[in-house]
Amino acid sequence: MNIFKFIGNRLFQGIVVLIGLSLVIFIIARVVPGDPARLALGSTATAEQVAEFRSKMGLDKPFYIQYWLWLQHAVHGDLGISLVTRRPVAEDILQFFPATFELCLMSLIFEGIFGILLGTIAGRFANSWADNAVRLFSYIGVVTPPFVFGILFMLFFGYLLHWLPSIGQLSPNIVGPPRITGLIVLDSLLTGNFLAAKDAFLHLLLPSLSLAMGGIAQDARITRASIVDNSGKDFINALKSCGVPNMFIMFKYLLKPSLIPTVSMMGLSFAYTFSNAFLIETIYGWPGMSRYGMNAILNKDLNAIIGVVMVLGIIFVTVNLLVDIIIAYLDPRIRLRTQ
């Protein structure tokens, strides 16, 4: 059926968005006063050196040609050379990306498990003490920025209780696995290094949980609302009146339609997680993209900045696409509407 057309349509929209995004950053980077070539070479470079560098990097060409050249390269996965480290931006990003991805993935898992669990409990036992507890928790989660959770968790679980390690990706006395995927826990498991896997997993817990708190709170809130909303509907009443066991109704019939808003919320917050990961990585000394991004920002390394933003944009678009597909699977009304 039309699922391919649906996906193709969404893909096209995503590409338009990415082009728009890159254009916006390009325009802003142009409007800004200051010469990127001069910034890259420092104040000691001579005028000839600056001019040579400028023409080598294509910075002397008009804006739209620069953009066109950049776009041509970007399509082939070449995001240009960093103006500061002189290394290819794409390579650098690939180097740092897996650590960030691991963090965000773990936080998504936390979000999925705890958000849906808390929301289901609150919705199932609406207006009980459990519901009120979840409501209070959601409120705290929504108004507290992730970096505050990061600091509090680090102090409480890391330093006060000594339950979990709170700096970096691995303990210093443990040898890390060889790089296969870049996800340390996965790499350790693949190479059979269970000691490193456990250590890396423990290191992952605090930062990913602090990242996930906001999402857990929102998911719980939305799942609860949606379950309460759906449990008054006719099809649930019909099942109840037929004497179908409550638990059976819950898991087979009620949960699936109720999770639709949660899934779309999770997709959105997964994309937001990547921007918040910047802050969490700084606190926990996590060797991810934030360090690279922060250096790029400090040094006005335009190619690197655009690279990092584009990678985040691509993640955002991809996640939204996946979410749309999952929702189309969960909700036949959306799937069939495209016919």
Q: Contact residues for another protein (CB under 8 A)?
A: 16-17, 20-21, 24-25, 28-29, 32, 34, 139, 142-145, 147-148, 151-152, 154-155, 158-160, 271-272, 274-276, 278-279, 282-283, 290, 293-294, 296-298, 300, 302, 305-306, 309, 312-313, 316-317, 320
User: Least distance (Å) from another protein to the CB of residue 299?
Assistant: 10
Nearer to another protein, 151 or 249 (CB): 151
User: Least distance (Å) from another protein to the CB of residue 159?
Assistant: 4
First-to-last CA distance in the chain?
8
Nearer to another protein, 34 or 172 (CB): 34
Nearer to another protein, 253 or 270 (CB): 270
> For 223-236, b where at least 16 C-beta lie within 10 A, e where not — what string?
bbbbbbebbeeeeb
Nearer to another protein, 25 or 325 (CB): 25
CB-count burial class (<10 Å; 0-12, 13-18, 19+) for 122? buried
User: Least distance (Å) from another protein to the CB of residue 245?
Assistant: 33
Strand partners, 81: 88
User: Least distance (Å) from another protein to the CB of residue 221?
Assistant: 12
User: Least distance (Å) from another protein to the CB of residue 242?
Assistant: 33
User: Least distance (Å) from another protein to the CB of residue 275?
Assistant: 4
Nearer to another protein, 98 or 150 (CB): 150
In whole angstroms, give the CA distance from residue 21 to residue 71. 12
Phi, psi (rounded to 5 degrees) for 81 = -100, 135
Nearer to another protein, 184 or 319 (CB): 319
Non-local (6+) Cβ contacts of 280 within 8 A are 103, 146, 147, 150, 207, 210, 211, 286
- Tell me if residue 167 falls in helix, strand or coil: coil
In DSSP notation, 9-37 reads HHHHHHHHHHHHHHHHHHHHHHHS-S-HH
User: Least distance (Å) from another protein to the CB of residue 309?
Assistant: 4
**What one-letter code names the amino acid at 312?**
L
Nearer to another protein, 197 or 323 (CB): 323
CB-count burial class (<10 Å; 0-12, 13-18, 19+) for 309? middle
